[in-house]
A = this chain, B = another copy of it.
């Protein structure tokens, strides 16, 4: 493990670390905020998955998560959103290739060698984090923004024993029915749409749901509203009586100004679910 940086932040430390990833066949960088901790008390972890075009750095610098994470004694992991490097395939558009891993394991050429973000977030990175840092695997929550909200919801529903809670800011909620989803799933997963289903949170919600609480925030002035399809996820949650809270936030858009305005609620939501689980 390479320590890229470790910086004091509130009472804790904001670290940036690099490690060789087998899943992604490249070096991967992630951020980790460790709060000040009461001796002997277990530290819950929130996984924060970022959106299109982001690296590990955006939420780490723009979400204000550290203030609340320190206050509530919660660690936050900020993974990257795709493999990186000169040997990694890319696309000229912003929404495919680097910065746009979509939290799936690609099966199609040329993506299938590196674009295995699902495996990376599900298996490799948690093994790495829990073997290197004093955190509690029994107290995990997962959160994400936009493409990361899609990642958080689908990964949580696929791993209900791992996560106590899941939350999302303006998630891509029904990607099999959206131009944010269909393009990428076709490229990464191929033409057979039956292979896309497990990466769609609306479909997963209808089929299996999540045993813990779900929190979703959505801004009314989100310019990508029609691509996100919050109504599909909401309908699935209400139909299945999913334990959930949904907030339609008047006047907010898709930016980190939206995320920072409600990150306190999300951190506190995950802390509470973790300690009560």
Chain B minimum-CB-distance residue to A244: B248
Q: Mark A6-29, 1 if CB is under 8 A from B, else 0.
A: 000000000000000000000000
- Name the interface residues of A160-175: CB closer than 8 Å to any CB of B: none
Question: Smallest distance from the beta carbon of A123 to chain B beta carbons, Å?
Answer: 29
- In the bound complex, do residue B244 and residue A213 qualify as a contact, i.e. CB atoms below 8 Å apart? no
SS of A interface (majority)? mixed
Give the number of copies in the complex. Answer: 2
**Is A256 an interface residue, CB under 8 A from the partner?**
no
- Bound Cα distance A234, B232 (Å): 11
Q: Are B243 and A249 interface neighbours, CB within 8 A? A: yes
Question: Would you call A98 an interface residue if the criterion is a C-beta within 8 Å of the partner chain's C-beta atoms?
Answer: no
Given contacts A234-B234, A234-B235, whether A245 and B248 have CB atoms under 8 Å apart is yes
Select A246's contact among B241, B246, B250, beta carbons within 8 Å: B246
Q: How far is the CB of A234 from chain B (nearest CB, A)?
A: 5
Contact of A245 (CB < 8 Å), options: B220, B231, B235, B247: B247
Shortest CB-to-CB span from A109 to chain B, Å, is 39
Q: What chain B residues lie within 8 Å of A238 (beta carbons)?
A: 230-231, 234-235, 248
Given contacts A213-B250, A250-B213, contact A239 B231 (CB under 8 A): yes
